[in-house]
Chain A
Amino acid sequence: KQEVTQIPAALSVPEGENLVLNCSFTDSAIYNLQWFRQDPGKGLTSLLLIQSSQREQTSGRLNASLDKSSGRSTLYIAASQPGDSATYLCAVRSGGSNYKLTFGKGTLLTVNP
């Protein structure tokens, strides 16, 4: 059974700092890994999707990496801003069930002005 863990559970940083969020998964047979952002009272916004054959994806100040063999992914946020404050969720689409996602519990990020 696939399990996804996110560390840390919460992170507070000053504005402008670069930061890394971590995600690990137990079964390396995945189709892809997706990073989401969730604002309070809102649904999930897809940030980046990395296919199993890829090593990283970039969008603006965000960079996500994937090391499938070790079961790890990182989300790097450069020059953080207060507007980046949200919960960041990692989810994997596993090989045995190529449609449903298995989610971590998220990292609550607070960027202080």
Chain B
Amino acid sequence: GAGVSQSPSNKVTEKGKDVELRCDPISGHTALYWYRQSLGQGLEFLIYFQGNSAPDKSGLPSDRFSAERTGGSVSTLTIQRTQQEDSAVYLCASSLGSWAYSNQPQHFGDGTRLSIL
């Protein structure tokens, strides 16, 4: 597709359930990022993938959060045993890469709005 695609656009689930969020980056973009936007807060970095390198997971808030990127393209963010404080908009972004393209902009999807009841 032309842009970053995220699904679902909205997800409502009960506390304690697991959820999976999907991100399909722009074709050819080797770098992929997940961010979280909570009400009243700025965007918070979660995790970064670059090609086949080990991901930078330094922003994940707890071990209930994990992410993978299969085949260097689609990524899934998984939240296990969801809590109410996990309610937020989860945004995915992609870019042409890191070191060689540090001045390339990040392109964002429309996000997944996650609500934990």
Contacts and interface: CB of A to CB of B under 8 A. Distances in A.
B24 to A, nearest CB: 13
B41 interface: yes
Interface in B1-49: 4, 6, 31, 33, 35, 40-43, 45, 48
Contacts of A49: 103, 105
B98 A105 contact: no
A100 B42 contact: no
A29 interface: no
A100 B59 contact: yes
Contact of B103 (A32, A36, A43, A45): A32
A74 B103 CA distance: 19
A99 B50 contact: yes
B110 interface: yes
B42 A101 contact: no
B111 to A, nearest CB: 5
Interface string B73-110: 00000000000000000010100001100110111111
A68 interface: no
A42 B110 contact: yes
Interface residues of A, number: 25
A67 B109 CA distance: 30
A89 B43 contact: yes
A105 B102 contact: no
Contacts of B108: 36, 43-46
A105 B41 contact: yes
B107 A31 contact: no
A98 B91 contact: no
B104 to A, nearest CB: 8
A4 B48 CA distance: 20
Nearest to B93: A44
22 contacts: A31-B102, A34-B105, A34-B106, A36-B108, A41-B113, A42-B110, A43-B4, A45-B108, A49-B105, A89-B42, A89-B43, A93-B102, A98-B102, A99-B33, A99-B48, A99-B50, A100-B45, A100-B56, A101-B33, A101-B45, A103-B42, A105-B40
5 smallest CB-CB distances across A and B, nearest first, come from A43-B108, A44-B108, A103-B43, A43-B110, A46-B105
